[in-house]
């Protein structure tokens, strides 16, 4: 009879000593098992299409605004890393001090480009919805050689800006990568124009549109 209580005490002691270790193991394994590891890593690539507007003010007080159609590429690397937005522009309408002009009536060629290069961060808005945003360096080129009897116009406003992208993972695949659709927007404050350095006071640029891309990991 005296051995039974001793054996019971030893068994309870062994169970009590093992429980904390087991609990710690469960606590350690639990969060790791449920953690969505690396869903924002990797590269993102997309084709984008949308309107583009840039406006700038001269030292003399005049305002120039160009509305363009744009098509371009959006790319980024890593959950936190570099990004680039680069667009080809076709200026469609120009405004100067309130007057509106169709660029095709005055310029024999209508071309331009827009570049935003910077650093982005990604996060989840929803399990299938990823957001990306960050600041960067910005530049817009407007190149409009005039028709006979009209002057050429060129501008290259440079400044600081920021961009944001929202991606929705559809579930389809292309080139072994998940296909995404989404939207983008970017804005910039331009401070200097090497082509019009004696005339530019400051300017603003805004663009937005839709995208079709590859590369959201799950």
Q: With contact defined as beta carbons under 8 Å apart, do 120 and 102 qualify?
A: no
According to the model, what pLDDT value does residue 22 have?
Answer: 45
Written as one string, the DSSP assignment of 14-60 is: HHHHHHHHHHHHHHHHHHHHH--TTTT-SEEEEEEEEEEEEEEEETT
Mean per-residue pLDDT of the chain: 82
Confidence class of residue 6 from pLDDT cuts 50, 70 and 90? very low
pTM (2 decimals)? 0.77
CATH architecture label of 43-214? Beta Barrel (2.40)
**Among the listed ranges 29-33, 132-136, 180-184, 193-197, which one has the minimum average pLDDT value?**
29-33
């Amino acid at each position: 009879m005296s051995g039974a209580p001793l054996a019971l005490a030893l068994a309870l002691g062994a169970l009590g000593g093992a429980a904390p270790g087991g609990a710690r193991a469960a606590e350690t394994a639990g969060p790791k098992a449920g953690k969505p590891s690396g869903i924002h890593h990797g590269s993102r690539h997309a084709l984008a299409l949308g309107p583009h507007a840039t406006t700038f003010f001269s030292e003399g007080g005049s305002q120039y605004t160009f509305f363009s159609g744009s098509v371009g590429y959006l790319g980024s690397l890593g959950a936190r890393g570099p990004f680039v937005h680069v667009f080809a522009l076709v200026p469609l309408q120009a405004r100067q001090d309130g007057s509106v002009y169709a660029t095709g009536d005055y310029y024999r060629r209508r071309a331009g480009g827009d570049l935003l290069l910077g650093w982005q961060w990604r996060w989840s808005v929803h399990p299938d919805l990823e957001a990306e945003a960050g600041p960067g360096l910005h530049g817009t080129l407007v190149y409009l050689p005039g028709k006979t009897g009209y002057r050429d116009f060129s501008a290259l406003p440079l400044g600081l800006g920021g961009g944001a992208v929202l991606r929705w993972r559809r579930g389809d695949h292309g080139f072994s990568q998940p296909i995404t659709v989404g939207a983008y927007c970017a804005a910039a404050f331009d401070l200097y124009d090497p082509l019009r350095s004696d005339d530019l006071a400051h300017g603003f640029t805004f663009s937005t549109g839709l995208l079709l891309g590859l590369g959201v990991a799950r």
